[in-house]
Amino acid sequence: MADDNPFSGGCAWIQGEFVPIGDAKIPLLDVGFGRSDVTYDVVAVWNGKFFRLDEHLDRFERSMKHLHLNLDVNRQQITQILHECVRRSGLRESYVDMIATRGWPGRESRNPWTFRNQFYAYAIPYVWIVEPDKQEAGSHLIIARDTVRIPEASVDPTVKNFHWGDLTRGAFEARERGGGVVVLPDLDGNLTEGPGFNIFLVADGQLYTPDAGVLEGITRRTVLDLAAELGLPTHVAPIPVGDAGRADEAFMTSTAGGVMPVTMIDGQPVGDGNPGPITTQLRQAYWDAHDDPRWTTPVSY
């Protein structure tokens, strides 16, 4: 029997209306599209529950404030829209995006402070950076040589954005060098992040993750929180590129995939070439946390 729910493939909120994801369109003149004058945030729904929704909303609000974006919808209304996108779709595992754009210019002025800012949202089936079956073997990570991360003085990486030119260029470099995923260094030769994920290294039973040039990911924060509960020492600090080759374990973190093991860096195995025990422990703890009422918000279907 065919699914007669028009939202089963996903549901979007566009200019005050809920529409099937295939019908969702933004105006061509919206400078969120034309100039990347936009911020966004992505929260996951797993087993019918939002994971750390409040933290994602907090970060979304901080990003909007940083970019001088003001919406006609408030936090409570945004929350209701996100819930309704998921409810209409019926998805139990979903990738839920909220977007604030500058909007489009009026006839009288092209000054960005005169634009009417716009809000969009959508829920689609859950997105994986690395599919679960491939996570079992671990990913081959390439550290870019030809591309550096956009400096913080130019684009603030703590504000979630669409400035992915450097990350996309790095992804093609990784592909050409036989890897699956990429992390970019900064101008000082320290690790930053990859396209949509943070990076962690494990050495001597301790966790290390870059302190600068990165989005302060909610999954990254969750790993730091879980590590504290498990008694694992953590360090948020500069990580020179050369340290990656001396790590016992490595993994990536993202809302789109959770804790994802890395078993090879630049063609060389990490540790024994298998997902390490601390990575495995944190990966299990992360998915177990999706049933923890401290961090979850049920969707009312």
HEC profile for the chain?
CCCCCCCCCCEEEECCEEEEHHHCCCCCCCHHHHCCCEEEEEEEEECCEEECHHHHHHHHHHHHHHCCCCCCCCHHHHHHHHHHHHHHHCCCCEEEEEEEECCCCCCCCCCHHHCCCEEEEEEEECCCCCCHHHHCCCEEEEECCCCCCCCCCCCCCCCCCCCCHHHHHHHHHHHHCCCCEEECECCCCEECCECCEEEEEEECCEEEECCCCCCCCHHHHHHHHHHHHHCCCEEECCCEHHHHHHCCEEEEEECCCEEEEEEEECCEECCCCCCCHHHHHHHHHHHHHHHCCCCEEECCC
- Amino acid, res. 29: L
Evaluate whether 78 touches 119 at the Cβ level (below 8 Å).
yes
Distances (CA, A) of 171 to 164, 249, 293: 10, 22, 37
pLDDT band at 161, cuts 50/70/90? very high
Chain mean pLDDT for the chain: 96
- The two three-digit tokens of residue 278, written as one number: 């601390």
Distances (CA, A) of 5 to 34, 83, 286: 33, 17, 32
User: How much is the pLDDT for 1?
Assistant: 38
Segment 4-18 mean pLDDT: 95
User: How much is the pLDDT for 157?
Assistant: 96
Quickly count: other Cβ atoms within 10 Å of residue 114's Cβ. Answer: 11
Across the strands, what pairs with 284? none
Mark residue 123 as left, alpha or beta (left: phi above 0; alpha: psi -120 to 50; beta: remaining).
Answer: beta
User: How much is the pLDDT for 281?
Assistant: 98
Residue 2 has pLDDT above 70, yes or no: no
Q: State pLDDT tens for residues 55-106.
A: 999 999 999 999 999 999 999 999 999 999 999 999 999 999 999 999 988 7
Evaluate whether 10 touches 124 at the Cβ level (below 8 Å).
yes
Segment 13-30 mean pLDDT: 95
Identify the structural domains of the chain with CATH numbers, from first to last.
11-125 (3.30.470.10), 132-289 (3.20.10.10)
Segment 124-130 mean pLDDT: 97
Evaluate whether 174 touches 142 at the Cβ level (below 8 Å).
yes
CA distance 160 to 3: 35
Q: State pLDDT tens for residues 227-277.
A: 999 999 999 999 999 999 999 999 999 999 999 999 999 999 999 999 999
